[in-house]
Chain A
Amino acid sequence: MIKFNQVYKRYPGGHEALKNLSFEIAEGEMVYLTGHSGAGKSTLLKLIAAIERPTSGSAIVKGQNIKSLKGSALPYLRRNLGLIFQDHKLLFDRSAFENVMLPLQICGFDHRESAKRVRAALDKVGLLKREKSNPIALSGGEQQRLCIARAIVNRPSVLLADEPTGNLDTEYSGEIMNIFKSFHQVGVTLLISTHDESILRQFPARALALKAGELVI
């Protein structure tokens, strides 16, 4: 599903964020990505979603080589990935409902069918009652969950979550992890970045540990 081979990522300016990464994630697997701040977790997730491109090495996602992926093929790769961003990237000029609707509009879904799916996704993250609210009126944890709803509404086969439980108390973290677990159970491939040790203990799974851009396990 995801296969990295000797991947390096150097940002313009010369900082080497990832060094010699090689690993593989199988279909349906749930994997953690751990490491301190600045270790390169977000960079790695951005490479998988082709938001950044590797400087060298090969990164294969769903059979596509990210390094040589054509701009015209990029949207279709991303539609198969559910992205949960560290900074949420919600749009504050529209309601929660419309935020979750956006991926379906982009794919050209029938309006009535999409409305059903949006409500199902909002229900799953416990935000159905807040569908008309502007995201700015939601708490940090609620915004996080809204971002998850937007990532899952399209029923992607891969979910990439960048610190989905960052800044949340343990009760909320547990809730969110339970949502992810239910996706794992229906065969979705999951890659979750976190620096929260308690989650790893509570919901054990394989972990890729990064240290200053290098894989340590």
Chain B
Amino acid sequence: MKSAILQHLRVIRFTFQRLLHTPGASLLNLIVIGIALSLPVGGYVMLKNIQGISEQMAGTPQISVFLALDTSQDEISRFRKQLKEHAAIDHIEFAPRDLALKQLQLSTGLADVIGGLTQNPLPDAFIIYPVAMDVQKLELLRDDLKSWPKFEHVQLDSSWAYKLEALLKFARLAVLILAAMLSFALIAITFNTIRLQILTQREEIEVSKLIGATNGFIRRPFLYFGLAQGLLGGAAAWLIIAISLQLLNYSLANLTHLYATSFTLSHLSLSDSISLLGFSAYLGWLGAWLSVSQHLWQIEPR
């Protein structure tokens, strides 16, 4: 048992020696793998960030209803009652036009302009908090409200967030397709690297077979090599994204400063990072395994 572990450790050490044996080629491979992986993973990171920002800004959905200016107080209290009884509505707020004007006066510093008005141009408004959250039901409710008399203008707030969500769904699919294609590329890169290694070590493999090496023994260093290359390629992708985010955050800081908000783009979470490394290591291993199964049996000593 102990000697089996020691033997594995020796193979692992040997694998890294092999990686370091041709530092230029190894580094180039890692950069290629890193860039290939950083495209879909970077896309994923951006999507996550955009989603986070949109959720933060959208808050809970609400529908604003602006009433016609000639709506009477009687009508308003009737609407209030009807809205409260509506099954799709959780609760409502009423914003009387006088109050809205006062707020406008206070908050915008347009007091002089507004003071000069002969009549209040603002309508009475209901702010409606629906029960449901999903976009279809919200749109249904909005269309229903639009058909009510005196409901002059009905607006589903944060509808942009829902449009964005639909767009993000599409982008997510694009990232997924990209990820699938580049995973395939990673497998192909490893396949080819291992193929070349097998060719250059043909004699060693032949002699090892002659003096009693099992297929497992011969296969192992190649599989470890593929695994290590995938793992390090994944780490390279992680680094590439980290550096890119750093640069983006730097220029984003200047931008958001102007709008008095602050966002920073965040990197992969710990569990996502571990998934990235695990997945890229697995792909490397898979590429090596395919290559070894394809090429090793062709080398039979004579």
Which residues of chain A have a CB within 8 Å of any CB of chain B?
A: 49, 51-52, 71-72, 75-79, 83, 85, 89, 91, 93, 102-103, 105-111, 150, 154
In the bound complex, do residue B207 and residue A76 qualify as a contact, i.e. CB atoms below 8 Å apart?
A: no
* Docked CA distance A107–B212 (Å): 8
In the bound complex, do residue A79 and residue B212 qualify as a contact, i.e. CB atoms below 8 Å apart?
A: yes
**Chain B residues whose CB sits within 8 angstroms of the CB of A110 once the complex forms:** 3, 6
Check B51 for interface membership: any CB of A closer than 8 A.
no
Check B217 for interface membership: any CB of A closer than 8 A.
yes
* Docked CA distance A169–B215 (Å): 39
Closest CB-CB distance, A108 to chain B, in whole Å? 5
In the bound complex, do residue B217 and residue A83 qualify as a contact, i.e. CB atoms below 8 Å apart?
A: no
Q: Which of A75, A79, A91, A154 has the most CB of B within 10 A?
A: A75
Closest CB-CB distance, A130 to chain B, in whole Å? 19
**Chain B residues whose CB sits within 8 angstroms of the CB of A108 once the complex forms:** 3-4, 7
* Docked CA distance A8–B204 (Å): 31
**Chain A residues whose CB sits within 8 angstroms of the CB of B209 once the complex forms:** 75
* Docked CA distance A102–B218 (Å): 12
Report which of B6, B10, B203, B212 forms a contact with A106, defined as CB distance below 8 A.
B212
Residues B200-254 near A (CB distance < 8 A): 203-204, 206-215, 217
* Docked CA distance A8–B212 (Å): 25
* Docked CA distance A166–B194 (Å): 38
**Chain B residues whose CB sits within 8 angstroms of the CB of A78 once the complex forms:** 210-212
* Docked CA distance A108–B215 (Å): 14
Of all chain B residues, which has the CB nearest A103?
A: B211
In the bound complex, do residue A75 and residue B3 qualify as a contact, i.e. CB atoms below 8 Å apart?
A: no
* Docked CA distance A109–B204 (Å): 19
* Docked CA distance A98–B165 (Å): 62
**Chain B residues whose CB sits within 8 angstroms of the CB of A77 once the complex forms:** 212
With A106-B213, A108-B7, A111-B6 known as contacts, the answer to whether A51 contacts B301 (CB < 8 A) is yes
Q: Which of B209, B212, B215 has the most CB of A within 10 A?
A: B212
B 4-48 to A, binary, CB cutoff 8 A, 1 in contact else 0? 101100100000000000000000000000000000000000000
Closest CB-CB distance, A40 to chain B, in whole Å? 15
Check B81 for interface membership: any CB of A closer than 8 A.
no
* Docked CA distance A13–B4 (Å): 44
In the bound complex, do residue B4 and residue A76 qualify as a contact, i.e. CB atoms below 8 Å apart?
A: no
* Docked CA distance A51–B209 (Å): 10
Check B257 for interface membership: any CB of A closer than 8 A.
no
**Chain B residues whose CB sits within 8 angstroms of the CB of A93 once the complex forms:** 204
* Docked CA distance A71–B210 (Å): 13
In the bound complex, do residue B211 and residue A106 qualify as a contact, i.e. CB atoms below 8 Å apart?
A: yes
**Chain A residues whose CB sits within 8 angstroms of the CB of B210 once the complex forms:** 49, 51, 78, 83, 85, 89
Q: Which of B6, B209, B214 has the most CB of A within 10 A?
A: B214
**Chain A residues whose CB sits within 8 angstroms of the CB of B213 once the complex forms:** 75, 106
Of all chain B residues, which has the CB nearest A109?
A: B3
Check B78 for interface membership: any CB of A closer than 8 A.
no
| 9 examples of A-B residue contacts, CB within 8 angstroms | A51-B301, A51-B302, A85-B210, A89-B206, A91-B203, A91-B207, A102-B208, A106-B212, A106-B214
* Docked CA distance A71–B218 (Å): 14
Of all chain B residues, which has the CB nearest A107?
A: B212
